[in-house]
Amino acid sequence: MTLTTTFKLLKAEKACESGYKKLRKNLKGIEINEPINLLTILESNGFDDALWALRATEQNCDRIARLMAVDFAESVLHIWTAQYPNDNRPALAIQAARNFANGLITRQNLVAAARAARAAWDAAWDATRAAARDAARAAWVAAWDATRAAARDAWDAAWDATRAAARDAWDAAGDAAWDAARDAARDAWDAAGDAAWDAEREKQITIFKSYLQPEEK
């Protein structure tokens, strides 16, 4: 389906000033009421602005927007099913959203499925948060024990040194070990998160394009 907007519609929907100016600059000569293909916005401004422009289309794109959202959710459903293979509530909610977009069920059915999926998410979040807290505590204890053992060995070897100097070395070693462990964990988390996010965005862009390709005549 071809979806278009105009500078007038974007302005009416309060498009962000920076994105609007960028599009204006890249599409010089386009009149305020002249149609702009959303794929053109994708090429000019990127995915976020193109996705936002769905709210300002000349055509009714409610069904397309819903189906896109369903596909976005479905593309990461495997993460849930790998962790909770016996809980199909998110899958049922995704299917309900698709059925609603296609006019096969009522909004009441959709809301019921969405509430069930939210309950599943809340339960999983509580479990994940508890697991993360336990893992962090275990990591801290392990790091502290290792640091304490190393510091104790250093203390024994340097027994002839003053007690104050040894205590200062202990504190410094503990702080350095904790800072290093924390920084390494954060860097690893950020790198993994960035890679996963980039990959998912590429999938979303592919889905977006698949719905907005020009219609064959």
| Residue-averaged pLDDT of the chain | 77
State in Å, rounded, how far the first CA of the chain is from the last one. 12
DSSP 118-169: HHHHHHHHHHHHHHHHHHHHHHHHHHHHHHHHHHHHHHHHTTTS-HHHHHHH
Residue 21 has what pLDDT? Answer: 95
Minimum mean pLDDT among 56-65, 88-97, 175-184, 186-195: which range? 175-184
Q: How far apart are CA 78 and CA 82, in angstroms?
A: 6
Residue 94 has what pLDDT? Answer: 86
Average pLDDT over residues 15-41: 95
Residue 136 has what pLDDT? Answer: 47
Q: How far apart are CA 151 and CA 177, in angstroms?
A: 11
Residue 191 has what pLDDT? Answer: 62
38 burial level (CB within 10 Å; 0-12, 13-18, 19+): buried
Nearest alpha carbon to residue 204 among 12, 71, 46, 25: 71
pLDDT (tens digit, 9 = 90+) per residue, 159-194?
A: 455 455 545 544 554 455 445 545 555 655 566 567
Pull the structure tokens for residue 141.
């204890």
Pull the structure tokens for residue 167.
């205590």
Instruction: Return the C-alpha torsion angle 1, 60, 67, 55, nearest 10.
Output: 110
Diameter of the chain measured on Cα atoms = 90
Pull the structure tokens for residue 24.
């204006």
pLDDT (tens digit, 9 = 90+) per residue, 122-138?
A: 877 676 555 545 544 54
Q: How far apart are CA 165 and CA 55, in angstroms?
A: 66
Q: Model confidence at 26, in pLDDT bands (50, 70, 90)?
A: very high
Residue 188 has what pLDDT? Answer: 58
Residue 2 has what pLDDT? Answer: 93
